[in-house]
């Protein structure tokens, strides 16, 4: 097969005009990361969760594939999370020496909350049925997912002061 006719399996680069400060763009990033997390867990690939946490953390620490929001910095994001920790878990907050640690912990908190939201929605709306693509499609079309993603997007972007539940 000629070299130019082979298709790449690599991810396409994100267009530079994608503004990470745009709530719709950031919400899409959160939704894609949630779907990847849910699929990995549903398919018994729990060993991929740290990679997902690392990928999301890396994006938040260096969103160079995007136009960055005004005033965006890993330090500001980490400080926003540290202020939450100072109130709720002061011992843990003192142990986070680098912004990357705080951001990675916040991504873990977000993923944990996402799994709880999906499990709650599945119990209420579907009687606890197994997670598959059709269920995930319905979940992501639901108000529960829309509100969850919007609230977390607003928090990560600094438009909301309290951590969503």
Q: Where are the domains of the chain?
A: 19-58+71-156
Tell me which range, 49-53, 66-70, 73-77, 81-85, is most confidently predicted by mean pLDDT: 49-53
Q: Provide CB contacts within 8 A for 105, sequence distance 6+.
A: 81, 92, 96
Q: What is the DSSP string of 123-156?
A: HHHHTTPPP-HHHHHHHHHSHHHHHHHHHHHHHH
Rounded to whole angstroms, the Cα distance separating 112 from 1 reads: 45
pTM attached to this predicted model: 0.78
User: What digits encode the pLDDT tens for the residues 88-125?
Assistant: 555 655 566 677 787 888 888 899 999 999 999 999 99
* Cα–Cα distance measured from residue 13 to residue 66, given in angstroms and rounded to the nearest whole number: 10
pLDDT given at position 21 = 81
């Amino acid at each position: 097969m000629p070299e130019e006719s082979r298709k790449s399996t690599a991810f396409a680069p994100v267009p530079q005009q994608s503004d990470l400060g745009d709530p719709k763009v950031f919400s899409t990033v959160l939704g894609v990361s949630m779907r990847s997390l849910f699929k990995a867990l549903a398919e018994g690939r729990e060993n991929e969760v740290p990679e997902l946490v690392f990928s999301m953390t890396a994006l938040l620490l260096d969103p160079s594939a995007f136009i960055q929001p005004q005033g965006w910095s890993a330090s500001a994001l980490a400080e926003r999370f540290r202020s939450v920790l100072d109130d709720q878990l002061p011992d843990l907050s003192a142990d986070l020496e680098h912004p990357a640690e705080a951001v990675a912990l916040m991504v873990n908190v977000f993923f944990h909350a996402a799994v709880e939201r999906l499990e709650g929605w599945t119990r209420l709306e579907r009687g606890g049925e197994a997670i598959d693509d059709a269920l995930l499609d319905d979940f992501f079309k639901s108000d529960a997912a829309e509100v969850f993603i919007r609230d977390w997007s607003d928090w990560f972007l600094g438009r909301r002061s309290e951590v969503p539940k």
